[in-house]
Amino acid sequence: MNLPSPYLLFLGDTADASDAKTAFGLRDWAPERVVAEWRAPGGKVTLGLPALSPAEARAKGARALVIGVAPVGGAIAPAWIPCLLEALEAGLDLVSGMHTPLADAPGLAAAAERLGRRLIDVRRPPATSPVATGLRRRGMRLLTVGADCALGKKYTALALARAFKARGVDADFRATGQTGIMIAGGGVPIDAVVADFVAGAAEQLSPDAEHDHWDVIEGQGSLFHPAYAGVSLGLLHGSQPDVVVVCHEAGRMRMSGYPAFRTPTAEEVAELTLRLARRTNPAVRCGGLSLNTSKLSEPEARELLAERSAQTGLPCADPIRGGPEFERLVDACLDR
């Protein structure tokens, strides 16, 4: 996918940083393609980047405005339309990972045609996807799985793929969500695939490979999620992972956006994931735990990582903090 860059990251009017995971992901993993951020009236989230209007960003070289928020349901909010029209008028293309196509939003298609601008929807599934076969494929695969949405599955997969390559391992990051696709330049938006074909699309995403090649696959949702578990299960069966890494966030006790539901423990996630994953790969194993400790101080984080590793008997690391804990996690994932 050839997206026009650099980008102006649009944060909408969101007040919840977890809704802005697309913007944060691009800031952290593709900073060379980011110029600035821009918020709609009422927006509270910031990336810590220069705040520029579309016209100012265009003058700085920006070529596209990326909708950097992904609220529940993936709809383009009516309150954003004036901002998106302003970006088009300033000479920017629009890039979106929302479920709602940009052309379906009031006024955008007509404005884009008049101004000669592009409306680019990233969350578009393949034109065709097969029904899964369930048959084993050559090569090695790692899938990040989680206790909830938006807690580090993408960051963990990106960090592990980078670490594998740094050790001379032939590895690819396989994106399954809109942000990962924008970072990697390709992938499958797995939650936009028709349900019967989710596992088949996952098989296509990670095809036969050399024996020592690793596909590091970005996980989606959670097997425990009251809304998105179906996507997670299809991705799990189609990925046929040899290794899973369980992702959690320190201190998250309730499902994000679903406070009536308790967040499962990492041990619960590992047990259920392995039990279900054995359907298509009986040899699957858990490589370790990835713990998002972004809300903790450095000493608190290191203490918690050591404590959780001792409790579970598995490597436990925060891939963003790195350090010896992360190196042990990499070792465990690659241990065959």
Strand partners, 291: 248
> In the chain, how many domains are there?
2
Cβ(216)–Cβ(157) under 8 Å?
yes
* 104 DSSP assignment: G
**Amino acid 141: pLDDT:** 98
pLDDT in tens, 232-283: 999 999 999 999 999 999 999 999 989 999 999 999 999 999 999 999 999 9
Report the amino acid identity of residue 220: Q
pLDDT of residue 72 exceeding 80, the answer is: no
Structural domain of residue 312, as residue ranges? Answer: 140-334
Kindly report the average pLDDT of the chain as a whole number: 96
**Amino acid 321: pLDDT:** 97
Which residues are CB-contacts of 326 (< 8 A; sequence separation ≥ 6)? Answer: 159, 163, 317, 318, 319
pLDDT of residue 64 exceeding 90, the answer is: yes
Neighbour tally for 304: CB within 10 Å: 17
Residue that is written with structure tokens 């790692």 in the block: 142
pLDDT confidence tier of residue 127, bands split at 50, 70 and 90: confident
pLDDT, average across residues 53-61? 98
Q: What is the DSSP string of 216-277?
A: EEPP-S-TT-TTTHHHHHHHHHHH--SEEEEEEETT--EETTEEEEEPPPHHHHHHHHHHHH
Cβ(201)–Cβ(158) under 8 Å?
no
pLDDT in tens, 139-167: 999 999 999 999 999 999 999 999 999 99
Domain stop point among 63, 92, 121: 121
Indicate if 183 and 237 belong to the same structural domain. Answer: yes
Residue 276, in any domain of the structure = yes
Indicate if 97 and 159 belong to the same structural domain. Answer: no
* CA 156 to chain CA centroid, nearest Å: 9
Domain stop point among 73, 94, 121: 121
Residue 132, in any domain of the structure = no
Domain CATH number, residue 173:
3.40.50.300
**Of residues 75 and 94, which shows the higher confidence score?**
94
pLDDT in tens, 192-229: 999 999 999 999 999 999 999 999 999 999 999 999 99
**Amino acid 18: pLDDT:** 85
